Amino acid sequence: RRPALAMAAALVVIASLAALAWWRTPHAPSVADAAPAHPVAARVSPAPRVQTASASPIPVLDADALAARITDAPAALPALLVAWQLPHAESDLAIATACAPSLAPGVSCLRGRASLDTLLAIGRPALLRLRAGGRETWALLRGSDALRVRLQLGDALVDVSRLALATAWRGDYWAIWRDPPNVAAPADVRRFQAMHGLAADGVVGPETRFALAAQGPGPHLRQGLD
């Protein structure tokens, strides 16, 4: 029995030495150990917020500043055509500049004279002929409030007091519009003309047609400038 006992003891010693050697040898971590404690997405920093620049305030011009802008401001005719969703390539600008009574089927053009109140009552954008120091340009009337009007000079929007506008504008305007489908009876036309500050003669001339078209679809003047 002693040889058997000796052999068993030797086996125990060998097993112990093998276990000790495995414990002291470095080994690769398990899959669970290698995985991060949280998903990668949870550790990604959120994208920084894009700071949108606020719109620049529209400048308010006095009479002198308005006169200075007239020096180099191009005519705002393209903006008027765009407002009516009409073509505005160079060839189209040439046709519109001629301002024939009928620019295209259903589209009319007029150059006339009117008061600011009359144009505001019609409520359609129109080009105003501004003059200062022997220079001139056409600015697009965009809107108004009780004290000021909003103009587009070239690509720039400006607000001008009514008094400052009066120093550069003598009533000349240029309008384009889409014709209304129907024309009212003469008595209704005269009543309409009187309400809009037009000559109440019952004749549906270009000024009256411009005013009659004001209720149809298309661009309108901004009411209030805040």
pLDDT for the residue 67: 95
Query: Is 148 inside a domain boundary?
Result: yes
Query: Is 190 inside a domain boundary?
Result: no
- CATH, residue 165: 3.90.70.10
Query: Is 154 inside a domain boundary?
Result: yes
Query: Is 136 inside a domain boundary?
Result: yes
| C-alpha to C-alpha distance for 127 and 174, rounded to whole angstroms | 5
Query: Is 70 inside a domain boundary?
Result: yes
Q: 188, 194 in Cβ contact below 8 A?
A: no
| C-alpha to C-alpha distance for 135 and 144, rounded to whole angstroms | 25
| C-alpha to C-alpha distance for 184 and 45, rounded to whole angstroms | 67
Query: Is 176 inside a domain boundary?
Result: yes
Largest CA distance in the chain: 142
pLDDT for the residue 126: 98
pLDDT for the residue 71: 76
| C-alpha to C-alpha distance for 160 and 140, rounded to whole angstroms | 12
Range of the domain at 97: 60-181
pLDDT for the residue 94: 93
Total number of domains in the chain: 1
Query: Is 32 inside a domain boundary?
Result: no
Whole-structure pTM value:
0.71
Query: Is 108 inside a domain boundary?
Result: yes
The strand pairing partners of 150, in sequence order, are 143, 159
Q: What angle do CA 216, 171, 83 make, to 5 degrees?
A: 35
Mean pLDDT, consecutive 10-residue segments, the chain of 226 residues?
42 39 38 32 34 67 94 86 94 93 91 95 96 94 96 94 97 93 76 84 85 87 86
pLDDT for the residue 189: 83
